[in-house]
Amino acid sequence: MGLLMTKKNKITEQEALELHACGRPGKLEIIATKPLITQRDLSLAYSPGVAAPCKEIEKDPEKAYDYTAKGNLVAVISNGTAVLGLGNIGALASKPVMEGKSVLFKRFADIDSIDLEIDTENVDDFVNAVSLLEPSFGGINLEDIKAPECFLIEKALKEKMNIPVFHDDQHGTAIITLAAFINALHLTNRKIENTKIVVNGAGAAAIACVELLKNYGVKNENVILCDRIGVIYKGRANLNPWKQKHAIDTKTRNLADAIKGADVFLGLSSKETVSQDMVKSMANKPIIFAMANPTPEIMPEEVKAVRPDAIIATGRADYPNQVNNVVGFPYIFRGALDVRAPKITEEMKIAAAEAISQLAREDVPDEVADAYSGQRLKYGSEYIIPAPFDPRLISRVPSAVAKAAQIGGIARKPITDYLLYERQLLNRLDPTVGTFQLINDKVRRSPKTVVFAEGEEEKMIRAAVAYVNNDYGKAILVGSEEHVQKKLEDLGLELPDNISIHNAALSKHNELYRNYLYERLQRQGFLLRDIQRMVHHDRHIFGACMVHFGHADGMITGLTRSYKDVLNDIQYVIDPKEGSIPVGVSLCVQRGKTLFIADDSIHERPSSEELAEIAIQAAQAAKKMGHEPRVAFLSYSNFGNPKGKTPVRIREAVKILEKRSDIDFEFDGEMSVDVALNPHIRQLYPFCKLTGSANVLITPGLHSASISSELLRNLSQGTFIGPLLFGLKKAVQIVPRDANVSELITMALLAAHEACSK
């Protein structure tokens, strides 16, 4: 099976194909934002009601931003002539990439986006096709178009269109490069007007970087641009207009000569084009941005071996200082759209770069630091660019871009209160998704060994292979080696080095596990032979013993038996945390909002004390996912109306929390679901302590929690995760019996992450 991978993220081609093909094919869909249930709904949304906004827009075209999605809609457009590392693969084959770019707009900046693939390499035809789409969109993101056509296309579209046109391959790279450059100069005490730069590569991204650096203050004569032939100097034959613009008077003719004494090397070319001798010849404290992907012009460790004083950035995620466009383009468009700017100016690009660079100099948020195994990231040579999942990017960068547009006089909808605007930006994104990426990063930095207890199951085997291929750690499959190897053969997979197979009946630890369990269970009616049978034949118990004794860090199981039975087996081995109880919490992530539902897997009719503890653990789960918990104790009644026996138990739970001095989250109840989630109905109860809609729902019992969770799982079009198991001394997760491979990997990742904290 083929592999698509970087050092940090290994995935198989089959996994990628399955993701794109499963369920609704592709990565995008269109969802109506208004109710369309009744005939009246249809009459308002379409004929005859739709005529009213049409007439208003005819009178004032700016009204399109008020009555349509135009103001939050960006088109990602390509002709497929320079796609990633695949080259000219054509418009249709580029569609998965363009869909992916559209997904990034939504994920990072809450911008709706649609991909358009234009099937032509003719510049005029491409320009005409795109320019005629102006009424439909608030902005145009050009993507993966080869040079020099990309320069001609962007220039023509900017002249024709009155909405932002942005070629991210050029300007996104340039903006992040400038942000890193600003901080590198600061750390090495250089003055920009004296800084000498050598650029290797003269394509779209390299030229955009050079132009933005010069606009920021780098002197023209201090930049030497090189291409495959050598130095671009005045008088050199066969230079296109874009290269000619940056030709300078110089006697140097090759990269090795040009780089001597240079302060900065900027690489946007190809692998292994820079040698250690070249690096040695640079000035003190050299700045080296080697951004060829996936292999840089020179690897960071090669640079450090000869110049430990160097500041290094690459395009890779597995080294410090990744020049990643996702730190820029979503937020730049967000700011431009919000002030209805007709274009993205040089001043707006520089404002974005300065905001990004400034962010790297500030204290790093706990959630980002936590992803680096608790290491406090600090501004310095290995941290000059903010992490891509820094939650502050969404408020800082759009705000800076919007201000620059306003100062430049091109904001058609000026912002009057920037503090309010930044708060609104922060509320656009659900922190859950970013938190999962931080969890992902943390586990990679502190890999863990996870037991896949039902190791003979096909889905468990595939999940274990993916777990180790993604560098999360080692995996243990519990089962017969013969059976597992046969399944691997049937799947066309080889057993990776970091996966081991443990047959419970043959384990060298059986006596240790048996003695431990017998001591725990002998006075609960279990004979020694019962314990021996359990250790030899029950994969859940064997796996739990491995985790208890530190022979593994965590475990996932649950595909073959009910949640209750599996949990019962695990609790023969592993105790709850001191003063705690096991709790199941499910997450429903839909359209930018996350709901935490508890307890939907364990406690049938929890007491008031148990409800209070469930609320505490569910609130902690929400905090771990980046949310400020607002806990609602649910019932059929609202604060005593109507009266009944069940609400009394819930009210007592609320009173228990009110008496505790260590509670640091909002909570209230009892209340119905509509009061918990609907702010208009909640206004009927002005004494309610929740300052916003609840995001943690505590149900009266297992029946209501399970029904609610399963309804959401089956009817929601969002992502459903869980139930997650909290409250045990060791990291164990029980998966749903219908879990797919992706869900198993997620649960294994969460078990590994929990193990990082134990």
State the first-to-last Cα distance of the chain, in angstroms, to the nearest integer: 36
Say yes or no to pLDDT of 435 above 80.
no
Which pair of tokens denotes residue 209? 């970087």
Give the largest Cα separation in the chain, rounded. 94
Give me the mean pLDDT over the 325-354 stretch.
Answer: 96
Say yes or no to pLDDT of 5 above 50.
no
Give 393-427 pLDDT, tens digit per residue. Answer: 999 999 999 999 999 999 999 999 999 999 889 87
CB-facing half-sphere around the CA of 60: CA atoms within 13 A: 8
Report the chain's mean pLDDT, rounded to a whole number: 90
Give 668-689 pLDDT, tens digit per residue. Answer: 989 999 999 999 999 999 999 9
What span, in angstroms and rounded, lies between the C-alpha atoms of 649 and 1?
A: 56
The residue count for the chain: 758
Say yes or no to pLDDT of 4 above 70.
no
Relative to beta strand 3-5, strand 311-314 is: unpaired
One fold for both 444-573 and 583-727?
yes
Q: Which conformational region is residue 272 in: left (phi greater than 0), alpha (psi within -120 to 50 degrees), or beta?
A: left
Say yes or no to pLDDT of 644 above 80.
no
- 472 near 744, Cβ under 8 Å? no
Backbone angles phi, psi at 127, to 5 degrees: -60, -45
Q: What angle do CA 61, 65, 69 make, to 5 degrees?
A: 125
Q: What is the pLDDT of residue 389?
A: 78
- 393 near 192, Cβ under 8 Å? no
Instruction: State the architecture of 583-727 in CATH terms.
Output: 3-Layer(aba) Sandwich (3.40)
What span, in angstroms and rounded, lies between the C-alpha atoms of 267 and 475?
A: 38
Chain Cα centroid distance, residue 369: 15
Q: What is the pLDDT of residue 721?
A: 86
Q: Residue 670, preceding bond cis, omega within 30 degrees?
A: yes
**CA 451 vs CA 463, 522, 537: distances in Å:** 11, 26, 16
Which of 364, 394, 393, 389 has its CA nearest to residue 440? 389
Backbone angles phi, psi at 313, to 5 degrees: -130, 150
- 127 near 156, Cβ under 8 Å? yes
Beta bridge partners of 117: 78
Beta bridge partners of 408: none
Under DSSP, is residue 641 helix (H, G, I), strand (E, B) or coil?
strand
Q: Where are the beta strands (DSSP E) in 397-491?
A: 450-452, 475-478
Q: What angle do CA 518, 524, 530 make, to 5 degrees?
A: 50
Q: What is the pLDDT of residue 6?
A: 41
Which of 264, 299, 272, 80 has its CA nearest to residue 169? 80
Give 549-605 pLDDT, tens digit per residue. Answer: 999 999 999 999 999 999 999 999 999 998 889 999 988 887 768 889 998 888 889
Which of 106, 110, 266 has its CA nearest to residue 176? 266
- Burial zone of 578 (CB within 10 Å; 0-12 exposed, 13-18 middle, 19+ buried): exposed
Q: What is the pLDDT of residue 223?
A: 96
Owner of token pair 């949310």: 627
Q: What angle do CA 463, 466, 469 make, to 5 degrees?
A: 155
55: Cβ–Cβ under 8 A, 6 or more apart, which residues? none
Please name the amino acid found at residue 85: G
For the whole model, what pTM was predicted?
A: 0.77
Grade residue 716 by pLDDT with cuts at 50, 70 and 90.
low
Beta bridge partners of 5: 10
**Residues involved in catalysis:** 46, 101
Q: Which fold has domain 444-573?
A: Rossmann fold (3.40.50)
Q: Which fold has domain 171-323?
A: Rossmann fold (3.40.50)
18: Cβ–Cβ under 8 A, 6 or more apart, which residues? 741
Does CATH number 3.40.50.150 belong to domain 326-429?
Answer: no
Q: What is the pLDDT of residue 370?
A: 60
Structural domain boundaries in the chain:
171-323, 326-429, 444-573, 583-727
Report the percent of the chain where pLDDT is more than 90. Answer: 65
Grade residue 7 by pLDDT with cuts at 50, 70 and 90.
very low
What span, in angstroms and rounded, lies between the C-alpha atoms of 234 and 245?
A: 9
What span, in angstroms and rounded, lies between the C-alpha atoms of 107 and 103?
A: 6
Give 521-539 pLDDT, tens digit per residue. Answer: 989 988 999 989 999 889 9
Which of 689, 698, 639 has its CA nearest to residue 666? 689
Which of 506, 193, 179 has its CA nearest to residue 328? 179
Sheet holding 583-590, edge to edge: 666-671, 630-634, 696-698, 593-598, 583-590, 719-726
- Cα R_g (the chain), whole angstroms: 29
Q: What is the pLDDT of residue 8?
A: 44
The larger pLDDT score, comparing residue 437 to residue 386, is at 386
Q: What is the pLDDT of residue 401?
A: 97
Give 261-285 pLDDT, tens digit per residue. Answer: 999 999 999 888 999 999 999 999 9
User: Which helix (H) or strand (E) element contains residue 311?
Assistant: strand 311-314
Q: What angle do CA 10, 14, 19 make, to 5 degrees?
A: 90
Give me the mean pLDDT over the 225-249 stretch.
Answer: 92
Q: What is the pLDDT of residue 497?
A: 86
Sheet holding 554-557, edge to edge: 499-502, 475-478, 450-452, 554-557, 731-734
Torsion of Cα atoms, 546 then 547 then 551 then 556, to 10°: 80
Q: What is the pLDDT of residue 496?
A: 84
Across 365-374, 432-441, 478-487, the highest mean pLDDT is recorded for: 478-487
